[in-house]
Structure 1
Amino acid sequence: MFTSQRTRRLAAGLAGASALALALTACAGGTSGGDAADVTEITVVAANSPWVEGLKTLATTYKDETGVTVNIEAYGNEQLNDNYKVKLNASSSDFDVMAFQVQDVMREFSRNGWLADMTDYVTSDAEWNWEDFQPAARDAVTLDGTVYGVPVMTERQIVYYRADLLEAAGLAVPKTLADLEKAIATLHNPDGGVYGIAMRGSRVPLVTQLSSFLYSYGADFQDKDGNASIDTPEAVKAIEFYGDLLSQYGPPGVTNMGWVEASALFAQGKAAFYIDADSQAYTFLDPANSSVVDTVGFAQFPEGPAGSKFYNIVPQTVGINEFSKKKDAAWAFIKWATNQENTTWLLANETVPGARLSAWEDDAAVANFPAGLVEIVRNVADHGVGHDRPRLEQVAAAREIVGGPVITAIEGGNASDAAASANTQFQDLLDSEK
């Protein structure tokens, strides 16, 4: 069992993957030439996160090794996109390395020409080894064949369960979605104060968690050509499955629940299962906030008709400002900070859930993580999908649309008709960006 210190470190590492924020400030000195050997100073703008805290320590080492001063500026979420847009609209070269949230801004920033093309950088050094990064993470930072960043934190959907309840009922940990439904139905006991499952049921928040159900049924938000596809037979079955779980075995008022409310129920011991991001593991491992510290288990997302396919996203990546006059120096630092040695150090010392496969294979480095979670991550290469929401710039509007059919399913309506209507609206939104 975790010590309180380890729990706090895990909390910082995993919670940071869900609470990232960026902003920009003043410029750094140094030469303006593109030759990395001529540069004495670079500026990194990053999120307030465990990764950037670890980076502050690594930056000292980097200066000792190279003589290059690394100025790190980290800020809160409120300043994130507004400050980027002000600086980058003005083609500012005040900063060199820029951290950003892939699924929220990468499409907009790349369209505006604000992100440097890093494809040649990441593929040109066999020793640094781009192939060592999780396939889904590499996919997440790649758009239309162009790589725009290096993933530094990852997050995936998993199953949390009450091991004591499964054991008492003689149930194995579900390996398939069909087994999951049977276990949830068996353990659903509202009169005894335990619901079969707690999960996001609020219209917009639920969309990211629906994603793994879609993938495991052989569906997605969009097809391979980028067109809306939430009305396919496979998508409708996934939507109905998600809705049925919550309508039949979820708590009252589930359509008003996001992750905060749903995870609280599980932490209080009032749900047998909870399915959401692994960044929430700390919630259930902190004795001050959880009554299931000694009974919580972690399992890979179950197999559906298309197998076990779950999101493995990148909540923070580091790229290069297209307007920087020190791109080569920026890449030299990114390459160093994300090499195998430093990624493993961050995993071990700052519990930063990085994207390198080799780091997760280091038993000493993962000692602060639950064994069940480590096993899931070690197997992620065959199962991970690099997005957990529709892929377009107007993602907030898309989530509002896509969540509608699930609400219909939860409330017992015709999910197929709702999906068909929503698909038309979603396609209109996609077409507006062409």
Structure 2
Amino acid sequence: MNNIINRLAGSVSSVAIATSMVGATGLMLAPGSALAQDGPVCTSPVRILAQPRDGLTLLEEYAAEFEELSGALFQIDYMNEGDRRVRSQADASLIGRYNIYYVDEANLAQFASSNWIVPLMPHYPAEYDFDDFDPGRVATATYDDTVWFAPIMGGGDLLVYRTDLMEAAGLEPPETLDELFEVVAALHDPANGIYGIGLRGQRGSGANVWRWMPYFKGMGGEWFVDGEPAMNSDAGVQATKTYLDLFEYSAPGTRTGSWDESTGAFRAGQIALIIESAPLAGITLDSTQSQVADRVGFAKPPAPLTGGGFAHGFAIGERANQSDAERDCAGLWIAWATSREQELRRLEIGQAGELNRQSIFASDLFAETFGEGLPAALTETAEVTQVNFWQHANWPELGNHWGIILEELITGTRDDIPAALAELEAFAANLSD
């Protein structure tokens, strides 16, 4: 999902990795792991192109651990999200400077179908337990029945709500869409600065479209049926009408706003509930970022909404890794960087947005840090999380086009929903040729 958290601008900054030894915090590796093999796994430094993440900054502090494990150093070049996408596409298709690319759900299909990256699992060491990753993130990392990357961040959707407002009104978290409308209407109190819900209206495949898609897919919508565009359906019309109707209760600024405006309003205490991507949970519980940290509850989205699965992670580049040995080296770095041990380190210092493993969510430390409600909600929402977007190289173009049309519907510059969806279908027909 685009532009979710940690939007950091800037140009490439190469990080030369130190070689000092680590102490007792090193990885405990299973027998038969890379350390037990004859000779180093890597014979040259590993180069990674990524966008800034707190977890990667922390990872660099343990660089010597990877050198001892693999026999090589590593270097991460950072770029902001938009520039990273452009640079990685150019490098992966023509140059091959980087062994590992940071990819996301929006560009996975393009990278995989273009053979710019290689399947991950043949080169991912078994002892790092890939099956421990949250199933929704694994689904997002999968294209054409093949896993291509290991997640560094991601999630589905959660219903995040104000416990104090719910309790004062004698309400329970809504479990259906009918209940959702009843609750947001009851809690909507603009005169006192409280709005029933926070939505995203700003155009974009990762903005308004991202938040519309759970309604579309949950109501049975499909992007294509038998290869033909199918958005202008009963499900498409009803999903769009429902999303537009909810804007009656959404906070000011959200009709043209995205993640920042909607989640910012919730954290400022202006919104009663919000259905948003899972990384919001940890942020709302952080008193340095949230004014309602002690008044937040979590639940799965009301039925029939699907959780919008998204993930960002690391994939093995094809051009820079021609041999199996080179791919094994890249796979080892990916496994080490996304390991349970690294996630525990992030959890210990409060980096809640970059946790992806079921064992971490089920750990005592996670419950101690975030309370019992969040682990339970994550487990429940995983059951309804799915890939809502069209997994195709042309998805960003299709999603962004619908985002423009949807924003016009939200702001009232157009009002014919079937005509809008018909226009989207005509656009999609040209894309799919």
Structure 1, unaligned runs of 5 or more: 1-13, 29-34
Could you tell me which residue of structure 1 aligns to residue 432 of structure 2?
A: 430
Q: 1:61 to 1:303 in 2, by over 3 A?
A: same
Stretches of 4+ moved more than 6 A in 1?
24-28
Q: 1:62-73 counterparts in 2 under 5 A?
A: 62-73=66-77
Could you tell me which residue of structure 2 aligns to residue 238 of structure 1?
A: 239
Pick one of 89, 94, 98 that aligns with 1:95.
98
Could you tell me which residue of structure 1 aligns to residue 219 of structure 2?
A: 217
Q: 1:19-418 counterparts in 2 under 5 A?
A: 37=41, 39=43, 41-77=45-81, 79-92=83-96, 94-103=97-106, 105-122=107-124, 125=126, 127-204=127-204, 205-220=207-222, 222-223=223-224, 227-246=228-247, 248-251=248-251, 254-281=254-281, 284-285=284-285, 287=287, 290-304=290-304, 308-314=305-311, 316-325=312-321, 326-349=326-349, 350-365=351-366, 367-369=368-370, 371-387=372-388, 389-403=389-403, 404-405=405-406, 407-408=408-409, 411=412, 413-418=415-420
Q: Secondary structure at the match of 1:90?
A: helix
Percent identity among equivalent residues?
23
CA drift of 1:144 comes to 1.6
How far apart, in 2, do the equivalents of 1:20 and 1:298 lie?
31
Q: How many residues align?
A: 400
Contact preservation (8 Å) 2:156, 2:308: yes
How far apart, in 2, do the equivalents of 1:186 and 1:27 lie?
55
RMSD over aligned Cα, in angstroms?
3.2
TM-score by length of 2: 0.80
CA drift of 1:363 comes to 1.9
Q: 1:372 to 1:427 in 2, by over 3 A?
A: farther
Q: 1:317 to 1:348 in 2, by over 3 A?
A: same
Comparing 411-420 with 318-327, greater Cα deviation is found at 411-420
Contact preservation (8 Å) 1:156, 1:313: yes
Q: 1:289 to 1:45 in 2, by over 3 A?
A: closer
Letter aligned with residue 119 of structure 2: D
Contact preservation (8 Å) 1:243, 1:407: no
Contact preservation (8 Å) 1:42, 1:68: yes
Could you tell me which residue of structure 1 aligns to residue 34 of structure 2?
A: none
Q: 1:335 to 1:397 in 2, by over 3 A?
A: closer
Structure 2, unaligned runs of 5 or more: 18-38
